[in-house]
Structure formats: C-alpha cells, structure tokens
C-alpha cells in the first residue's frame, strides 16, 4: 500500500511518523507533498526521494491520498492535484469544515473519508472522529481505522454533521483544557506558589483526575460529589462557578466552535 500525505504541518508529520513507527507502511511506500521542502526537513524518517514540493504523476501511484492542509488552501490545491488524481483512489481528509461532497466535486472522486483528529495524536493519545462517502466498503473502512488508530482512538459516525460537532469538542478541546489549566496556574501564583510549583500542581492534578476517572465507572458528577464535601473548600469554588454559570459559558464556547466549523465548509 502506498500513502501520500499532502501537507506536512502538525498532523501531516504526526501521521507520517505514526504510520512508519507502527510499520503500517514502509519508508519506500510513504510520500509527502508540501510546497515548502523546509517544512518537511524535520521528518527525517521519510526518504528524501519521496518528498515533493509540486504535484506530479507520483500522486497517481498512491492508494490513499491524505489531505492535511488548511481548509482555506483546498480550492487552489484541488486545482493543482486534480489532473493526477484517479477516481479509484481513496481520499482521506482532515480539513476542518470541508464537506465530503465538496471534495468529491473538486477532485472528481467518489471514495472519501473525512475525519477530525486532535493534537494529542502527536503522542499516540489522539481522539479522531471519522465518516465516509457511500463508495467505501467495510474492509476499506477497517483499513482506514487501523491507520487512524496508530495515533490514538477513533469513533466512526454515519452523520457527517457530527464531524463539525467533533471539531468543536475533541478537535478544539485540548485548547480548552490548556485554557483552564493556565487559569489555575495563574491563580496558584497569585496565592504564593512559584510558577514552576503552580504548574506542577496543576499538571499532576489534571493527569491524576483523568486517570482516576478512566479507571472507574463513576460519572463526572459522581466524582464531583466525592470531592466536594458539604461546607468544604471545593463546594466554595463550585458555588462561584455556578454563580457565574461557568458550565453555560463553556457550552456557549463549544457551540461557537461548532458554528465556525460549519461556516468553514460553506
């Protein structure tokens, strides 16, 4: 199987390294197309013979073409690579907002998988939600899921609209976590901890809380009740969160991300 990754940003590099590390594909069968060769240079795992900075006949040789470019760059890219795309090739897109129908129309193909990964894929802890066009059979979907799972875990959805929802939740989600962590770190500093001490406190608290949640079957609400004793310190903090409707504000933020994802594809 030959795989071509178009674009070598964060996710393009992550996929290249994960595919090779898992031995899903060999060095000779992995190709990179990026207009900036300097962008590809850190990818020492990929043979320089398989790196290209402009479209060419090599595109036609790939069984799977992965589109890992910014959504706003797709119209120009599609015009450049369409002459070399064959209808039987499988196209895997990680472009936010670009719908399967738009990819089918722009490239003249009928076998498209659209997915939304996230940044922790870089360390094999990613979360990816994916869907597909009608032209892909179960065997091919199994192959695609195995590829995706080299970077973490995945969920297949029938409804393509759920990809935009996943963009708002898991795709953008790491930034929300870092936002909350940064607020806690700054609060720790204001209470007297050094920045490094505050960061350690917050990092370990997040890691411990997530691992504890994963190793048990309790819901988040049940864990909150275990931590927040009546009249205690946790309850005092939660009352402030409730007073300012923090949960509603978080929901509104995710809804804004969801609407933006839909805008990108329109």
Domain enclosing residue 258, as ranges: 173-264
77: Cα separation from own chain's centroid: 21
Give the tens place of pLDDT for each residue, 1-16.
Answer: 899 999 888 888 899 8
**Segment 11-28 mean pLDDT:** 88
The runs of H, that is alpha helices, within 36-191 are 37-40, 74-81, 100-107, 138-148, 161-166, 173-190
Q: Which residues contact 104 (CB under 8 A, 6 or more apart)?
A: 110, 112, 133
CATH number of the domain that residue 182 is part of: 1.10.3730.10
DSSP-derived secondary structure letter, 112: E
222/143 same-domain check: no
Q: Which of 123, 158, 193 is the last residue of a domain?
A: 158
Q: Which of 105, 130, 158 is the last residue of a domain?
A: 158
Give the tens place of pLDDT for each residue, 220-254.
Answer: 999 999 999 999 999 999 999 999 999 999 999 99
Alpha-carbon distance of 211 to 254, in angstroms, equals: 24
């Amino acid at each position: 199987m030959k795989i071509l990754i178009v674009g070598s940003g964060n996710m393009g590099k992550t996929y290249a390294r994960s595919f090779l590390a898992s031995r899903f594909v060999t060095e000779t069968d992995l190709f990179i197309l990026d207009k900036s060769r300097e962008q590809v240079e850190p990818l020492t795992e990929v043979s320089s013979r398989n790196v290209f900075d402009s479209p060419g006949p090599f595109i036609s040789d790939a069984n799977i073409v992965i589109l890992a470019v910014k959504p706003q760059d797709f119209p120009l890219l599609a015009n450049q690579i369409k002459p070399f795309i064959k209808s039987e090739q499988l196209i895997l897109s990680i472009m936010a907002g670009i719908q399967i129908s738009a990819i089918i129309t722009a490239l003249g193909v009928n076998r498209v998988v659209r997915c939304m990964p996230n940044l922790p894929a870089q360390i094999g802890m990613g979360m990816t939600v994916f869907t597909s066009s009608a032209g892909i059979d179960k065997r091919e979907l199994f192959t695609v899921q195995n590829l995706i799972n080299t970077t973490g875990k995945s969920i297949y959805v029938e409804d393509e609209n759920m990809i935009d929802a996943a963009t708002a939740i898991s795709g953008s989600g790491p930034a929300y976590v870092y936002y909350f962590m940064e607020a806690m770190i700054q609060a720790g500093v204001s209470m007297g901890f050094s920045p490094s001490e505050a960061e350690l406190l917050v990092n370990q608290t997040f890691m411990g809380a997530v691992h504890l949640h994963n190793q048990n079957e309790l819901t988040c609400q049940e864990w909150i009740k275990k931590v927040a004793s009546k009249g205690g310190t946790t309850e005092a903090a939660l009352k402030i969160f409730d007073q300012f409707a923090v949960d509603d504000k978080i929901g509104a933020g995710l809804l804004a991300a969801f609407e933006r994802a839909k805008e990108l594809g329109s």
